[in-house]
A and B are shown apart, each in its own frame.
Chain A
Amino acid sequence: MPGIDVSELRKYYGSLKAVDGISFSVRSGEIFSMLGPNGAGKTTTIEILEGLRRQDSGSVAVLDLDPWKQGYELHRKIGVIPQGFSFFDKSTPREAIKYYGDLFDVKIDPDEILREVILEDAANTRFENLSGGQKQKTGLALALVNNPELLFLDEPTTGLDPQARRAVWEVIRNLKKAGRTVLLTTHYLEEAEQLADRVAIMNKGHIIATGSPLEIITTYSPSERLKVTAERALYDYVKQHTDLNAEYDDATKSLVIQLRSKSDAISAFETIAKSNLEWSDLSTERDSLEDIFIKLVGVRLDEGEPVPNEAVQAPAS
């Protein structure tokens, strides 16, 4: 089953290399997340895939179609929520769903779609009076009207408060359960970790890492660390008796040993036991996706992001 195939994709705006030679593929039935800071090229990429923009070079196939040339055909098979989804302010979600049903010429049950996106409560509220989360859910509902195989969600939770964000996540998980393929862009790391089967980390028009969150972590942070709370004497003992890569952190009073191999782990345990020194709270840890992201991109993901302002959101009805 074809999903998305992108090869050597480029799009420049004057001297700005928005997308600079990226390649990736999305398999049918998976949630694929493009993760990156603002300006990484995520939206440009997704808009090229939707057929809303034309690439400068490179090849793109979405469900085996050329999005720019066969957009009209493609749009019947995909669902899209653009960034900052907006709709006719005097229409209700139910009316909007019915309208889309007529446009796509499909027989639909508005209530079923409203249930799928958990929006039954606001079915008859005008768009202008919906909360930010309900507006995004309306967008999701419309994206589902034509029963699409593939959904493009461009930053679906940007600007939402944490509660609304979790509600949208629940809907996205349901999409996957229903067997749909989802391409999701986000600059929330937690969102990618929570939802995505595979992630592409984008920065400055390039993809700098791809794979499942675990694959990315094991690739960029190959070793686990053993962490033990103990006095500095234990560190001295380990250094004296082994060639383990150990460090001591005075602030947390903890000994940290890099486990480069399985024998490192066994050696570490044996040495600690033989030392006859006091120790507690033994644990292993590894870099999080966020640690790796900071290593790769050099900045925290949410840097410079406006904090969602709940005060400007309309009250949920």
Chain B
Amino acid sequence: MANLKRIFSDLAVFRRQYLRNRIGLFFALIFPVIIIVLFGAIFSGGSSTVTVYYQNHDSGSLSTAYLSALNSTGALDLIPVNPSVNFSQYLLANSLSEGILIPTNFSESLESHIPVNVTVYTNPADTSSEGVLAVVSGVTNYFNLRAVGASPIVGVINQNVKSSSYKYIDFLVPGLIGFSILTSPMFSMVNIAAEYKKTKIFRQLSLTPLTKGEWLTSKIIWYIILTVASFVLMVLVGTELFAAQVQLSLWIVPFLLVGPLFFVALGMLVGTVTKSQESAGVIGNIITFPMMFLSGTFFPVSSMPGYLQNVAHVLPLYYIIDGLNSVMVYNNPGKALTDFVIVAVIAAIVFALAVRLFKWRDS
């Protein structure tokens, strides 16, 4: 019979052990905050316009109209370069990735319908180059149509799936909650299982009325507490600092419970079946690292190439983060239910295995 007094007494000792050893606390609570601040600043901070240098050799009015059309897209921040300098050398000398060169006879050619080329300098290594090329092509098409007196037939109306559009930070909040759910129990449980075996603390505990089920339960409770703390921190930092839009609902709770349970059991299992503390650490990392990067923690899985998405679908953390996304970003608890069932089944299997294989004493 599980005994609550023993569970909470063990929890108190473990909590003290954890809090007095500040490294664990840093990785559980502070580290994810650093990541969200960093990634949030990199990917959602600043304007989305690209700075582009241009050199206009044309003196007619149409090149001015062309440039103001480019400017009116709002996607480019245009900066003129003196026509007397060599443009490509100027770009190179100033480490500039994008440039637009308008030839001398631009207005004249356009009026008399003689083909003329606008040169767009791009850098394949720069992700914004493609955008610049697309904007310039679009504006050029419009000018072509106008030159022949035609008007567009097929138009494009842009509408977002949600009332307001999703931002990267919206996915980063549930992703990093998943990161916390994975890393804090995995890294420490693998180590604890191996270390307590080596220092014979398990054997010492086996001589008390504490059962291994009670011991494991107190660890699960502790990591649920840490997960909830990390959840609150992530949501606060995400919404307050980066205006992340996340839905808070009770549907989040099952994931905050089953996630830590699963990874405590998995960490225990790894520490139990391996022979030494070193091999436990290696196996633990082999399991943890792919999950840490490929389950949608830092980037949404949908933004990854197809074969990596297939890999993600076999990683349990994917279903936790997908479930959290469904609730917190898409507000679609129905989809989260499927994710939850998958995680719960895997967790139940791993938990049963861990309890079965984890031994207090040798035979």
Contact = CB atoms under 8 A, between A and B. Distances in A.
A65 to B, nearest CB: 14
B206 A52 contact: yes
B363 interface: yes
A104 B208 contact: yes
Interface string A47-85: 000111110000000000000000010011010101011
A72 B209 contact: yes
Contact of B207 (A50, A84, A99): A50
B273 interface: no
B209 A86 contact: no
A88 B209 CA distance: 18
Contact of B200 (A51, A78, A84, A103): A84
19 contacts: A51-B361, A52-B203, A52-B206, A76-B209, A80-B207, A82-B203, A84-B200, A86-B199, A86-B200, A86-B201, A90-B21, A91-B17, A95-B13, A95-B16, A99-B9, A103-B10, A103-B208, A103-B210, A105-B6
Interface string B17-52: 100110000000000000000000000000000000
Contacts, number: 65
A109 interface: no
B5 interface: yes
A171 to B, nearest CB: 19
B16 A91 contact: yes
A54 B363 CA distance: 6
B362 interface: yes
Contact of B9 (A50, A78, A82, A103): A103
Contacts of A103: 6, 9-10, 208-210
A75 B17 CA distance: 25
Contact of B17 (A80, A88, A102): A88
Interface in B168-211: 199-201, 203-204, 206-210
Contacts of A80: 204, 207
A48 B124 CA distance: 72
B315 to A, nearest CB: 33
A87 interface: yes
Contact of A102 (B5, B204, B361): B5
A90 B207 contact: no
Nearest to B199: A86
B9 A52 contact: no
Contacts of A188: none
Contacts of B203: 52, 82
A53 B9 contact: no
A75 B208 contact: yes
B204 A82 contact: yes
A72 B360 CA distance: 12
Nearest to B210: A103
B362 to A, nearest CB: 6
Contact of A53 (B6, B10, B21, B361): B361
Interface of A: 50-54, 72, 75-76, 78, 80, 82, 84-91, 95, 99-100, 102-105, 126
A221 B204 CA distance: 41
A79 B21 CA distance: 29
A85 B363 CA distance: 20
Contacts of B16: 90-91, 95
Given A53-B363, A91-B17, A100 B208 contact: yes
A281 to B, nearest CB: 52
10 A-B pairs closest in CB distance: A102-B9, A90-B20, A86-B199, A103-B208, A90-B17, A52-B361, A75-B207, A80-B207, A103-B210, A99-B13
Nearest to B198: A86
Nearest to A51: B361
Contacts of B204: 80, 82, 85-87
A82 B200 contact: yes
Interface string B199-231: 111011011111000000000000000000000
A269 B361 CA distance: 63
A88 B13 contact: yes
Contacts of A90: 16-17, 20-21
A317 B210 CA distance: 31
A104 B5 CA distance: 10
Contacts of B210: 103
Contacts of A99: 9-10, 12-13
A78 B206 CA distance: 12
A78 B208 CA distance: 10
B363 to A, nearest CB: 5
A44 B210 CA distance: 24
Contacts of A52: 203, 206-207, 361-362
B22 to A, nearest CB: 11
Interface-centre pick from B20, B200, B209, B210 (highest chain A CB count, 10 A): B209
Nearest to A142: B204
A84 B203 CA distance: 12
A103 B211 CA distance: 10
Nearest to B360: A52
Residue among A54, A84, A102 with the highest chain B CB neighbour number at 10 A? A102
A6 B340 CA distance: 55
Contacts of A100: 208
**Which of A51, A88, A91, A103 neighbours the largest number of chain B CB atoms within 10 Å of its CB?**
A103
- Specify which of B6, B207, B361 lies most central, judged by the most chain A CB atoms within 10 Å of its CB: B207
Contacts of B363: 53-54
Nearest to A86: B199
Contacts of B199: 86
B351 to A, nearest CB: 22
Contacts of B3: 105
B208 A53 contact: no
Contacts of A126: 20
A161 to B, nearest CB: 22
Nearest to A80: B207
A53 B209 contact: no
A102 B21 contact: no
A55 B361 CA distance: 14
Given A50-B207, A85-B204, 12 more contacts: A76-B209, A80-B204, A80-B207, A82-B200, A87-B204, A89-B17, A90-B17, A90-B21, A99-B12, A102-B9, A103-B209, A103-B210
